[in-house]
Amino acid sequence: MEALVKFVQDEFITKKDFPEFQAGDNLTVYYEIKEGAKTRTQFFKGTVIQIKGTGASKTFTIRKMSGTVGVERIFPINLPALQKIEVNKRGSVRRKRIYYFRGLTGKKARIREKKQ
């Protein structure tokens, strides 16, 4: 059964070429929003706090601060509305899921940049 699901995902789901990223990276995600008959492109810029799943069911969560309120958004990697992902900064973190990042504020909420 698992092989059948994998076969269907490989055959029928179109894969987009997005750059490699991981937890701690700062991304800008461009996606399409439909409002009535119009469509427009909106972006969401923030830090990746987790990547979940594999293959076609892969999702990633981005967190940004909007004023003093933290906003998180979960994006499926195969969302048809996703247009482009840009990696702004590569972050150096020790974990794959940085949930502790939610409780940090100010200077403690900074993530060191990865050295090339």
pLDDT in tens, 42-74: 999 999 999 998 877 899 999 999 888 999 999
CATH assignment of the domain containing 70:
2.30.30.790
* Residue 30 lies inside a defined structural domain of this protein: yes
For residue 44, the model assigns a pLDDT of 96
Q: How many domains does the chain have?
A: 1
Give per-residue pLDDT as tens, 1-42. Answer: 878 877 877 777 777 788 999 999 999 999 999 999 999 999
* Residue 84 lies inside a defined structural domain of this protein: yes
DSSP 79-105: -TTEEEEEEEE-B--S-S--GGGGG--
* Residue 77 lies inside a defined structural domain of this protein: yes
* Residue 98 lies inside a defined structural domain of this protein: no
Show contacts of 71-74: CB within 8 Å, 24+ apart. 71/46, 73/44, 73/46
Query: Which range of residues forms the domain containing residue 37?
Result: 18-91
